[in-house]
């Protein structure tokens, strides 16, 4: 039996990790854990980048994206969800109960209805007020969670309301396997948060896992993925991408293009919010 671990993006991941921890520590599955972590952040109205409370698009509508993955054959995703608050839960149902990988827009909402989930209004009063005055936002804070359970099974999940004030219809990296999240049970998982447009042309999470498949440790794998982003784009001063990686043996790392990012880590006997192992720029 191995040690369980939770690796979740951003400081808000800490409370979510702690809520999901007792079940994982008691032998629960990593899939249940990533679903619970993401749902916990979805329900936190003070997080304006995920779930209920997320900032809307240009026209005032909140739309959510999410993905869950355990292997290339066990992956589910939803995007542009307007009436259901837990995209990772929906994505898991897509993975487990349909022959498909991804459902989008009204089809995803209809699937949520058919699963028996009660529809909700996703636009919280404070998010509406911020949209009305176009209050500036650090809009790129997706929750991504990589988890390993006592049975040694690796799972990943991510949930996002995407970019604040995005064009209606915009979908980012988070729900797309290989872009915002990728898991290979033999070699590891990786996930990305930040400006999805920087990630999507490079399949950054897939790239990081492929680096691990080739023998790189988690930090070297993330640095390769971030360096490829830096090389491919003319980065603006506020462009940010941060990534996390977890190997099947529990080794893990996080890295970011810029300062301002931190990871919530929880394992037996230790836990908390840690600075990234490397920051590519800003040093
Ligand atoms: N990566 C997400 C997206 O571009 C945003 C985020 O990380 O908050 O949709």
Query: pLDDT at position 191, please?
Result: 98
Query: pLDDT at position 282, please?
Result: 73
What's the gap in Å between 195 CA and the centre of ligand 1? 5
Nearest by Cα to 79 from 90, 95, 93: 90
Give the number of the atom of ligand 1 that is nearest the alpha carbon of residue 197.
4
pLDDT beneath 50, residues of the chain: none
Instruction: Classify 146 as helix, strand or coil.
Output: strand
Q: Is the CB of 204 under 6 A from ligand 1?
A: no
User: Please, how many CA atoms are within 13 Å of residue 75, restricted to the half-sphere of its CB?
Assistant: 21
Query: pLDDT at position 46, please?
Result: 76
Rounded distance, CA 176 to CA 65, Å? 9
Q: At what angle do helices 30-42 and 13-25 cross, to 10 degrees?
A: 150
Q: What is the pTM of this model?
A: 0.96
State pLDDT tens for residues 227-275: 999 999 999 998 999 999 999 999 999 999 999 999 999 999 999 999 9
Q: Is the CB of 276 under 6 A from ligand 1?
A: no
Residues labelled catalytic: 142
Instruction: Give the number of other CB atoms < 10 A from CB of residue 201.
Output: 13
Helix residue spans in 26-158 (DSSP H):
30-42, 87-97, 105-114, 125-132
Rounded distance, CA 150 to CA 85, Å? 29
Query: pLDDT at position 136, please?
Result: 73
Architecture field, domain 5-279: 4-Layer Sandwich (3.60)
- Which residue(s) pair with 181 in the sheet? 177, 191
Q: Domain coordinates of the chain in residue numbers?
A: 5-279
Mutational test site, ligand 1, from 13, 139, 180, max ligand atoms within 8 Å of CB: 180
Q: How far is CA 23 from the centre of its chain?
A: 20
User: Please, how many CA atoms are within 13 Å of residue 195, restricted to the half-sphere of its CB?
Assistant: 18
Q: What angle do CA 72, 78, 81 make, to 5 degrees?
A: 170
Kindly report the protein residue whose alpha carbon is nearest to atom 4 of ligand 1.
196
Q: Is the CB of 160 under 6 A from ligand 1?
A: yes
Q: Is the CB of 193 under 6 A from ligand 1?
A: yes
Rounded distance, CA 261 to CA 241, Å? 9
């Amino acid at each position: 039996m191995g040690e369980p671990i939770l690796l979740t993006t951003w400081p808000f991941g800490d409370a979510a990790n702690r809520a999901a921890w007792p079940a994982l520590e008691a032998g629960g599955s990593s899939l249940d854990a990533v679903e619970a972590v993401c749902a916990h952040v979805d329900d936190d109205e003070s997080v304006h980048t995920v779930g209920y409370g997320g900032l809307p698009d240009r026209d005032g509508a909140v739309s959510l994206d999410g993905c869950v993955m355990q292997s290339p054959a066990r992956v589910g995703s939803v995007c542009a969800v307007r009436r259901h608050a837990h995209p990772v839960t929906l994505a898991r149902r897509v993975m487990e109960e349909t022959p498909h990988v991804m459902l989008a827009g009204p089809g995803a909402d209809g699937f949520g209805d058919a699963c028996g989930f009660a529809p909700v209004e996703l636009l919280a009063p404070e998010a509406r007020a911020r949209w009305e005055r176009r209050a500036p936002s650090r809009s790129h804070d997706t929750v991504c969670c990589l988890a390993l359970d006592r049975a040694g099974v690796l799972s990943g999940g991510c949930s996002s309301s995407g970019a604040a004030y995005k064009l209606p219809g915009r979908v980012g990296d988070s729900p797309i396997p290989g872009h915002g999240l990728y898991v290979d049970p033999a070699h590891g998982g990786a996930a990305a948060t930040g400006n999805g447009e920087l990630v999507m042309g490079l399949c950054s999470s897939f790239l990081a896992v492929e680096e691990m498949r080739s023998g790189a440790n988690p930090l070297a794998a993330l640095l390769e993925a971030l360096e490829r982003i830096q090389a491919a784009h003319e980065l603006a001063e506020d462009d940010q991408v941060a990534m996390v990686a977890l190997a099947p043996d529990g080794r893990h790392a996080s890295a970011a293009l810029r300062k301002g990012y931190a990871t919530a880590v929880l394992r037996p006997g230790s836990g908390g919010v840690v600075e990234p192992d490397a920051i590519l720029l800003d040093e």
